[in-house]
A and B are shown apart, each in its own frame.
Chain A
Amino acid sequence: EAGVTQSPTHLIKTRGQQATLRCSPISGHTSVYWYQQALGLGLQFLLWYDEGEERNRGNFPPRFSGRQFPNYSSELNVNALELEDSALYLCASSTRRGPRDTQYFGPGTRLTVL
């Protein structure tokens, strides 16, 4: 069974541009989570989508947004890029059945803002 996939692997942008990152969950998983892993800051929760709707949002500005498609894949959009947006962006998926909510992670997209 295929795991969580993310594209692209690497993305280089300049300040002020927009970035779009994509995630495909494990087959049968309806929830998708986005995290930012900046150097020295651990994993910061960004967004959580389940069944096409945004369920929760971390403490990030509105220029971080996303959506979940009917096939449960998801997109993260970052507008007006700033240098401090450079980070590894990780996507995770889960089944959301029962309280366990075990999340399985993709390999990440490394975003570099110049």
Chain B
Amino acid sequence: GEDVEQSLFLSVREGDSSVINCTYTDSSSTYLYWYKQEPGAGLQLLTYIFSNMDMKQDQRLTVLLNKKDKHLSLRIADTQTGDSAIYFCAEKGSGNTPLVFGKGTRLSVIA
């Protein structure tokens, strides 16, 4: 079955770049997503990338997709304390399949 893997923790200093990595197994993935969850809140959609793209940039966020290796990354430039949260990677297969989420990466930003 499909599986999405992420490292569980990442700690960075304020002002540095953060890179959160994700690998997936479903080769029929159509879209890949990044969501952010702050404490006690629901998931906020950050960005998504279509599987035939290899990069997408949106302000401080850069998504890189290596379809051959099934590897997705989210880079946050100039990381701020407000970026501290859990970041979930999710992939959408073809047809009537639901999103498959990774377990989330907890990003801690040190001032």
User: Interface of A with B (CB < 8 Å)?
Assistant: 4, 6, 33, 35, 41-43, 45, 48, 55-56, 58, 90, 92, 99-108
- Tell whether B42 is near chain A: CB-to-CB under 8 Å: yes
Size of the B side of the interface (Cβ < 8 Å), in residues, is 23
Q: B45 — which chain A residues lie within 8 A by C-beta?
A: 102-105
Query: Within the assembled complex, what's the spacing in Å between the Cα atoms of A18 and B100?
Result: 28
B42, A99: Cβ atoms closer than 8 Å: no
Q: B103 — which chain A residues lie within 8 A by C-beta?
A: 41-42
Q: B50 — which chain A residues lie within 8 A by C-beta?
A: 100
A56, B31: Cβ atoms closer than 8 Å: no
Q: A101 — which chain B residues lie within 8 A by C-beta?
A: 31, 92, 99
A90, B43: Cβ atoms closer than 8 Å: yes
A99, B43: Cβ atoms closer than 8 Å: no
Residues of B57-74 whose CB lies within 8 A of A: none
A105 contacts which of B42, B92, B94, B96 (Cβ < 8 Å)? Answer: B42
Residues of B61-92 whose CB lies within 8 A of A: 88, 92
B33 contacts which of A4, A33, A58, A102 (Cβ < 8 Å)? Answer: A102
Query: Within the assembled complex, what's the spacing in Å between the Cα atoms of A107 and B42?
Result: 4
In the complex, how many residue pairs between chain A and chain B have their CB atoms under 8 Å apart? 55
The smallest C-beta distance from B63 to any residue of chain A, in angstroms, reads 14
B42 contacts which of A33, A58, A90, A100 (Cβ < 8 Å)? Answer: A90
Query: Within the assembled complex, what's the spacing in Å between the Cα atoms of A103 and B102?
Result: 15
Question: What 1/0 mask marks residues of chain B from 19 to 58 whose CB sits below 8 Å from any chain A CB?
Answer: 0000000000011010100000111110010100000000
A108, B41: Cβ atoms closer than 8 Å: yes
A99, B104: Cβ atoms closer than 8 Å: no
The smallest C-beta distance from B49 to any residue of chain A, in angstroms, reads 11
Residue of B nearest to A96 (CB): B96
A45 contacts which of B31, B88, B98, B102 (Cβ < 8 Å)? Answer: B98
Interface centre among A6, A48, A103, by most chain B C-beta atoms within 10 angstroms, is A103
Query: Within the assembled complex, what's the spacing in Å between the Cα atoms of A106 and B41?
Result: 8
A33 contacts which of B30, B44, B98 (Cβ < 8 Å)? Answer: B98
The smallest C-beta distance from B8 to any residue of chain A, in angstroms, reads 10
